[in-house]
C-alpha cells in the first residue's frame, strides 16, 4: 500500500493562543477529512520559526525540510494544503519549492489558497458575516488584511467589491502593507456620517499585526488613529481560522488539489 501524507503549510505565528484556535484547528479539520494520510506541519516564515526555536526550543520544519523528511521516510503520496489567503509570494515560493520534489514521490498534490475562484470570494464574504453583530445598521465594519507588493494583492480590493455586491455595503477592507489602506477607507467614507466602527481581522491568525497594528496601544494603531478622528471604536478579535466556514473552504480546496507532474 502507498504511504500517504498530508502536509499543511502555514505562514506561522508566535502567538500560541491564536495558533491553537486557528492553525491548529485547520490542521485538525484537514486531518479528520483525510484520515488515511499521516499529518505533518510546515511553516513558511523563517523569522517566526527562528523565534519559536529560540523562545521554546521547538523546531518547526519549512516546506523543503518537511518534504525531505517525508521522502526519506518512504512516503509515496503527498497532499499539501496551504492556509494562505491569497496566491501571493508565500504561495508562489511554496509552489516552486514543490517542483524540486515532483519526481521524488509517486504523486504530490497542492490545494489552492483561500481566495482563488470567484466562488471562494462569495463564500468568504458569507463566512465573515457569521461573526458580524446582528444589528450593524449604525456601524462601519473595517477588516484588516495583510496586503502585499505581489500582484496577487488585487485579491483585497476584489474582496472589498464582493462584500458590497453580496449586500454587505457597510463592510470595508484595508491592508497593512498594500492597497487599499487606511487612507483609502477614509476617502471611501468621507461623506458617511456614521461614527461607529467595528474592527475585525482579515487574517488567518490574530497575531502581531492584529494585536499591535490594529488594536494596540501605540499612537499609530488603527484603533487609536480612528479614535483621534472622533470615531467610536469597537473590535471583534477573531482570526479567520477560528471560523468553521473558512476552514471548510480549505477542506474543499484540499479535496480538489491538483497534482504536480513532470510538465509543471
Decide: residue 211, CB within 10 A, 0-12 exposed, 13-18 middle, 19+ buried. middle
- Residue 177 marked ligand-binding: yes
Model confidence at 237: pLDDT above 70: yes
- Residue 146 marked ligand-binding: yes
Clarify whether residues 201 and 94 are in a common domain.
Answer: no
Catalytic residue among 37, 84, 146, 253: 146
Clarify whether residues 23 and 38 are in a common domain.
Answer: yes
Clarify whether residues 214 and 135 are in a common domain.
Answer: yes
CA distances from 254 to 24, 53, 56, 183 (A): 16, 29, 31, 36
Domain count, the chain: 2
Clarify whether residues 150 and 197 are in a common domain.
Answer: yes
What phi and psi, each to the nearest 5 degrees, are found at residue 138?
A: -105, 20
Residue 190 falls inside a structural domain: yes
Clarify whether residues 13 and 101 are in a common domain.
Answer: yes
User: 178: how many CB neighbours lie within 10 A of its CB?
Assistant: 21
Active site residue 146: yes
- Residue 245 marked ligand-binding: no
CATH of the domain at 30: 3.40.50.1400
Residue 261's pLDDT band (cuts 50, 70, 90): low
Q: What is the pLDDT of residues 170-188, one digit of tens each?
A: 999 999 999 999 999 999 9
- 88-92 mean pLDDT: 95
Average pLDDT, the chain: 95
Clarify whether residues 251 and 176 are in a common domain.
Answer: no
What residues form DSSP beta bridges with 110? 80, 258
Clarify whether residues 110 and 138 are in a common domain.
Answer: no
Clarify whether residues 107 and 133 are in a common domain.
Answer: no
Q: What is the pLDDT of residues 95-148, one digit of tens each?
A: 999 999 989 999 999 999 999 999 999 999 999 999 999 888 899 999 999 999
Residue 264 falls inside a structural domain: no
Clarify whether residues 124 and 235 are in a common domain.
Answer: yes
Residue 24 falls inside a structural domain: yes
The whole-model pTM stands at 0.95
Q: How many Å apart are CA 160 and CA 107, to the nearest integer?
A: 37
Cell matching residue 258: 491538483
Clarify whether residues 177 and 88 are in a common domain.
Answer: no
Which structural domain range is residue 213 located in?
Answer: 118-240
- 227-248 mean pLDDT: 97
Amino acid at each position: 500500500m502507498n504511504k500517504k501524507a498530508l502536509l499543511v503549510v502555514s505562514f506561522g505565528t508566535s502567538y500560541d493562543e491564536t495558533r491553537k484556535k486557528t492553525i491548529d484547528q485547520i490542521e485538525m479539520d484537514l486531518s479528520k477529512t483525510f484520515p488515511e494520510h499521516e499529518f505533518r506541519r510546515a511553516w513558511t516564515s523563517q523569522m517566526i520559526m527562528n523565534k519559536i526555536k529560540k523562545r521554546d526550543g521547538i523546531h518547526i520544519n519549512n516546506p523543503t525540510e518537511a518534504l525531505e523528511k517525508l521522502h526519506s521516510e518512504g512516503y509515496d503520496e503527498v497532499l499539501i494544503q496551504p492556509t494562505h489567503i491569497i496566491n501571493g509570494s508565500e504561495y508562489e515560493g511554496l509552489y516552486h519549492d514543490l517542483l524540486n520534489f515532483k519526481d521524488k514521490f509517486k504523486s504530490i498534490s497542492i490545494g489552492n489558497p483561500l481566495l482563488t475562484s470567484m466562488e471562494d470570494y462569495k463564500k468568504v464574504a458569507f463566512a465573515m458575516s457569521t461573526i458580524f453583530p446582528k444589528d450593524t445598521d449604525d456601524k462601519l465594519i473595517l477588516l484588516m488584511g495583510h496586503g502585499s507588493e505581489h500582484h496577487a494583492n488585487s485579491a483585497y480590493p476584489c474582496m472589498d467589491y464582493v462584500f458590497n455586491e453580496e449586500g454587505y455595503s457597510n463592510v470595508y477592507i484595508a491592508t497593512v502593507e498594500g492597497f487599499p489602506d487606511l487612507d483609502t477607507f477614509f476617502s471611501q467614507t468621507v461623506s458617511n456620517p456614521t461614527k461607529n466602527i467595528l474592527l475585525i481581522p482579515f487574517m488567518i491568525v490574530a497575531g502581531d499585526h492584529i494585536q499591535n497594528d490594529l488594536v494596540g496601544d501605540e499612537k499609530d494603531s488603527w484603533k487609536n488613529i480612528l479614535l483621534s478622528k472622533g470615531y467610536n471604536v469597537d473590535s471583534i478579535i477573531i482570526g479567520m481560522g477560528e471560523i468553521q466556514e473558512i476552514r471548510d473552504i480549505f477542506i474543499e480546496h484540499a479535496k480538489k488539489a491538483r497534482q504536480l507532474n513532470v510538465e509543471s
